[in-house]
Structure 1
Amino acid sequence: MARSDLRDVSLMAVTNHELRTPLAAIRGFVDMLQRRRAELTDEEIDEFLGVISVQTDRLIRLADDLVTLENLDDAALTVEHEPIVLVPALQQLVRELPDGGRVELRVSAGAPPTIGSDALRLGQVLTNLLTNALKYSDEASTVTIEAGAGSEGELVIAVIDHGIGIDAGERERVFDPFYRTAEGARSAEGSGLGLAIARRLIEALGGDITARATPGGGTTFRVRLPVNAAAR
């Protein structure tokens, strides 16, 4: 069997598992409501409906991520190239985060003021990285997003947290579809698709993304992008 076929079989198996978990929860609570509704209190009914709602949202997010991943693999993704004024774009992105008050934005003097890239796709990647950083960090800690220039003049954006961290042997594997570290799976829910999508999007924009340890504990994700992706 070819490597691509093995990958497809593996993805299908994991997808099946990821779909079955929320579906089983939904089915269980719907069945309970049907059989025991007359004896349940209003609070219990609200609790069951809340679980069904959460698991339904989980299925929707998984379906959206799978479609995005499939489009990226099939090279069907449309990438736009437009001028992005860096500081206002990053400020708006932080403001739109539900927990954006915990995010500190730093922009070095050498950072390019404007880049040519896809604002929607870049925003999708950075929102994913910041959301993950906040999710896997203590609520009292601060997440930092830093923008600067690389050694060849490219834009470098780092998302820095002081959370649970990622072992050295797993820092590349976290970009594989559905892969989650054991500590990450214990700490919060997730599909394991966000970082796989982030890497494919950044590569489509002509850049790269890596993970490394944050000094003192935590993880730093570093995105490198050409200042003018349209020229590549």
Structure 2
Amino acid sequence: MAYGSELLRQCRHAVTDAVSGASSAREAAVRATEALASALGWACAEYWEVDPDGVRISRVSSWTRAGTPLASFTGAEPMSFGRGQGIPGAVWQRGSDVWCTDLLRDLIDPGRLRHGHTLGLRTAVGTPVHDEDRVAGVLALFADGTADRDDDVLAMLHDTAGQIGRLLERRRVEELTRALAAARRDFDRVIEQVNDCFWSVEICPDGSVRSVYASPGGGGVFGGTLPTDTDMGSLLAERILPEDREQFQRFHETARSGQPAQFECRVLGYDQVVRWVWTRAAPRREDGRLFFDGITTNVTERRELADKREELLAQEQQQVRRLRELDRMKDELVAVVSHELRNPIAIIEAYTAELMEEPELGGREELAVIARTSAHLVHLVEDLLDLARFDNGRTAVDLRPLRPERLIRQAVEDHRRHAEARPVTLTVEMSALPMVPGDAARLRQVLDNLLSNAIKYTPPGGAVTASAYATGEAVVISVADTGIGIPAEQYAQLFTRFFRASTATSRKIKGTGLGLAVTKAIVEAHGGTITAEPGPAGGTRFNVALPRFGDSGPRGEMPG
């Protein structure tokens, strides 16, 4: 079958009209394929497109010459092939024209070509539609007669495919342009909500800095919009405070060397407000040109808070120094006053004792009051002196190996008369204990303080129990009472000097608030610890843990 020049001219004209009236590349391909097949008098024309995933090629349109019974060949159902299958698959795989005059042998047939041959089709021609360097689609034509390869027809198909390819490329460019514009709008919307200034500049070979992009957030950083038609390096250098320009110069030199850089400085904004700004940037090279992308943030509030924090810290340190000095002066004053009080109190005690020996004065209640008050003052002075000595490190305990059982039993017996007078039941629970390194006099002072407090704060009819047991590393001495107890929130202050629990002050029970502070100082001087907790039967329990002397001695069990 040969085609005359007039027929080919008519074919080209029909294709041109079809393409020019199309609104899209796909429509142009469909219409051009139909126009070309119709002008050539061929039986069927199809347009196929490669799926976006690049795995299959699918039929987009199918045209059949009027009066040609090819309904079972074309069909209305979707159709797709893999690479190499049928005319579209072969063209897609090869990336070039296919002109086939033997449908039964020349192509890989998934079954469709054999059916077409049964319906009278003898020739199949396919041409690829390229989008850049890939096959995007295939123009496929079928004839019901044998048509030998015709270069003019192929040239016309190439022209048609070229026009469609250019339309595809134009469509892709338009889609990319629209997508880029949409992405830019989305980016701008996000950036507009951020107070930071995002920017991009080019560092030119002569050292000047050309603005490429600046986000709208510059107003919150620079108090206005930075001009972009000038050297940005010189512009910023003028607005940076003189004492910070050296930092900016180092930042600029680092940037010119193509290294990441950052710095903080003060900038005089266009609104005449000085702000602290933090700038960090990273290099980017394109086609031998050096660009820098960065972020500038207004950190004025953070810097002001940091400065205020430093100021407050300095004030706090000064106050701590003053408090330490006052504490030292107080301790010295207490020590001096206590020392100076000892002699007058001793004189008062001596004269009171002499007066009480006089027959006519011995029974006077006034002298008994003076004696009790003097004894109380002596105890108070001794406590104050003890605390001052322990605080100043001038008191050392004489640690010697001792067994605590005898010391505990003696202390309990010495306080029994006081307990019976209330009356309060005083008991001791103790097994054999290992030795501890201790100062007998000082440990007795600890026991006396704990026992006298327990008896004093236990109402008549209550009980006080002294117990002791050994653990793997310590000997624990406990004094528990069923007394008035201590509010849970006040345990942390219990060993603070001059502190008295609210349960004691509300009942107007006399005390100085020094005994437990002295007790704690003595225990800690022995390398031990003292704690307080609610008692097992109400009241309070104090636990003194003293380190064992070596590994000698039996190990007792905690009383049940």
* TM-score band w.r.t. shorter chain: 0.7 to 0.9
* Residue aligning to 1:206: 527
C-alpha change, 1:225 and 1:135, in structure 2 (3 Å) is same
* Residue aligning to 1:88: 406
Check conservation: 2:434, 2:549, Cα contact below 8 A.
no
Q: Give 3-state SS (helix, strand or coil) of 2:545's partner.
A: strand
* Residue aligning to 2:154: none
1:195-215 Cα offsets, whole Å, 9 max, x none, are 000000000000010111113
1:224 and 2:542 aligned: no
1:8 CA drift (Å): 5.2
1:19-55 Cα offsets, whole Å, 9 max, x none, are 9xxxxxxxxxxxxxxxxxxxxxx99x93444333332
Q: Give 3-state SS (helix, strand or coil) of 1:215's partner.
A: coil
Inter-partner Cα distance in structure 2 for 1:182 and 1:100: 23
Check conservation: 1:112, 1:227, Cα contact below 8 A.
no
Q: Give 3-state SS (helix, strand or coil) of 2:478's partner.
A: strand
C-alpha change, 1:11 and 1:212, in structure 2 (3 Å) is farther
1:29-87 Cα offsets, whole Å, 9 max, x none, are xxxxxxxxxxxxx99x9344433333222222111111111111111112112222232
Unaligned runs of 5+ in 2: 1-318, 339-359, 551-560
Check conservation: 1:136, 1:187, Cα contact below 8 A.
no
* Residue aligning to 1:184: 504
Q: Give 3-state SS (helix, strand or coil) of 1:60's partner.
A: helix
1:189 CA drift (Å): 1.2
- Report the aligned-residue RMSD: 2.7
* Residue aligning to 1:156: 476
Inter-partner Cα distance in structure 2 for 1:9 and 1:147: 40
1:5 and 2:325 aligned: yes
Inter-partner Cα distance in structure 2 for 1:139 and 1:206: 36
1:31-46 pair list within 5 angstroms: 46=364
Q: Which amino acid aligns with 2:446?
A: V
Q: Which amino acid aligns with 1:105?
A: V
Select between 80-89 and 131-140 the one with higher mean Cα deviation.
80-89
Structure number with higher helix proportion: 1
1:127 CA drift (Å): 1.1
* Residue aligning to 1:38: none
C-alpha change, 1:10 and 1:75, in structure 2 (3 Å) is closer
* Structure with bigger RCO (C-alpha 8 Å, 6+ apart): 1
* Residue aligning to 1:59: 377
C-alpha change, 1:12 and 1:217, in structure 2 (3 Å) is farther
* Residue aligning to 1:99: 418
C-alpha change, 1:8 and 1:184, in structure 2 (3 Å) is farther
Q: Which amino acid aligns with 2:531?
A: T
Inter-partner Cα distance in structure 1 for 2:510 and 2:419: 20
Inter-partner Cα distance in structure 1 for 2:332 and 2:460: 35
Instruction: Indicate which of 437, 445, 454 corresponds to 1:133.
Output: 454
Indicate the structure (1 or 2) with the bigger Cα radius of gyration: 2
1:120 and 2:441 aligned: yes
Check conservation: 1:207, 1:224, Cα contact below 8 A.
yes
Check conservation: 2:404, 2:433, Cα contact below 8 A.
yes
1:9 CA drift (Å): 7.0
1:145-193 Cα offsets, whole Å, 9 max, x none, are 110123x431011100010101111112121111112221334211110
1:6 CA drift (Å): 4.6
Unaligned runs of 5+ in 1: 20-41
1:100 CA drift (Å): 5.5
Inter-partner Cα distance in structure 2 for 1:94 and 1:4: 40
Inter-partner Cα distance in structure 1 for 2:503 and 2:325: 30
1:10 CA drift (Å): 7.3
Q: Give 3-state SS (helix, strand or coil) of 1:103's partner.
A: strand
Check conservation: 1:172, 1:210, Cα contact below 8 A.
no
Inter-partner Cα distance in structure 2 for 1:114 and 1:12: 37
Select between 125-134 and 152-161 the one with higher mean Cα deviation.
152-161
* Residue aligning to 1:71: 389
C-alpha change, 1:10 and 1:82, in structure 2 (3 Å) is closer
Check conservation: 2:405, 2:433, Cα contact below 8 A.
no
Q: Give 3-state SS (helix, strand or coil) of 2:384's partner.
A: helix
Check conservation: 2:400, 2:437, Cα contact below 8 A.
yes
1:123 CA drift (Å): 1.0
Check conservation: 2:438, 2:526, Cα contact below 8 A.
yes
Q: Give 3-state SS (helix, strand or coil) of 1:184's partner.
A: helix
TM-score (norm 2): 0.33
Q: Give 3-state SS (helix, strand or coil) of 1:171's partner.
A: helix
Inter-partner Cα distance in structure 1 for 2:403 and 2:365: 45
Select between 50-59 and 156-165 the one with higher mean Cα deviation.
50-59
Q: Give 3-state SS (helix, strand or coil) of 2:520's partner.
A: helix
C-alpha change, 1:181 and 1:6, in structure 2 (3 Å) is farther
Check conservation: 1:87, 1:113, Cα contact below 8 A.
no
1:11 CA drift (Å): 7.2
Instruction: Indicate which of 476, 481, 486 corresponds to 1:166.
Output: 486
Q: Give 3-state SS (helix, strand or coil) of 1:137's partner.
A: coil
* Residue aligning to 2:195: none
C-alpha change, 1:55 and 1:134, in structure 2 (3 Å) is same
Inter-partner Cα distance in structure 1 for 2:536 and 2:406: 29
